[in-house]
Amino acid sequence: MTNQGLSISAALRKRFAEARRVVVLTGAGVSAESGVPTFRGGGQSAVWKGMPFDKISSAAMLERNLAEVWEWFDYRRGVIEKIEPNAAHRALARWQERFEDFTLVTQNVDGLHQAAGSRDVIELHGNLWRARCMSCRRKYDLRDRESEASRTYACADCGSYLRPDVVLFGEIVPGGAFERAAAAAARCELCFVVGTSALVYPAAGLPEVAKAAGAYVIEVNPERTPLSDLCDACVQGKAGEVLPLFC
């Protein structure tokens, strides 16, 4: 028994050691362990200038008041800019080197997986640190403070407005992202679902795809979720405490 009483069974360790194709889906719980707020509040709780999360982070608000949306996302980046990856992020970066075929899929938009060293992360909901032109769709790294586009939110190519490169309420997942994730889930042997309530689709459908294709599905979460009954194994605990145990 280690990490405050947590342990991984010998059977799970064996599956992990022998696997070649692994998919991991992460959610807000992983980044919350680093101190990233979810901002969602409870129900219709106001989170920004008296507005609930699903209003200020919506496609409707983007059309109605782009400047206000940028102010909100600038605030969000300011909150997380000094937050560091935790043990779960670092463990997953190491897993990438361990398996023949490893796919990391995340619902998070904070970029902490990449900061920990993970490569080719499939970001289902985009990234807070990117902007996208609303006309030509060119993308910009907002951490490049020497870029005029990063300072003015105007596209260097066509002069059109930029918007946050994230999926807002009322929008769909970027083309190709879910398809890539689903293809990986359909061929994997192990599928980990980590730190997510498994309520938001299409991401929540990935474990279902993996399970239907014959994969062994493992949930890592402090508490049971609607997905728990589908899983072959549930390890209750924080991601930062549980994932390093597999290594």
Give the CA angle between residues 146, 85, 217 to the nearest 5°: 125
Half-sphere exposure of 137 (CA within 13 A, CB side): 2
Rounded distance between C-alpha atoms, residue 240 and residue 247, angstroms: 12
Is 125 considered catalytic here?
Answer: yes
CA distance between the termini of the chain? 15
Q: How far is CA 185 from CA 161, 165, 215, in A?
A: 36, 25, 8
Catalytic residue among 90, 113, 125, 130: 125
Q: How far is CA 89 from CA 33, 80, 111, 182, 203, in A?
A: 10, 15, 10, 22, 19
Q: Which residues are catalytic?
A: 125
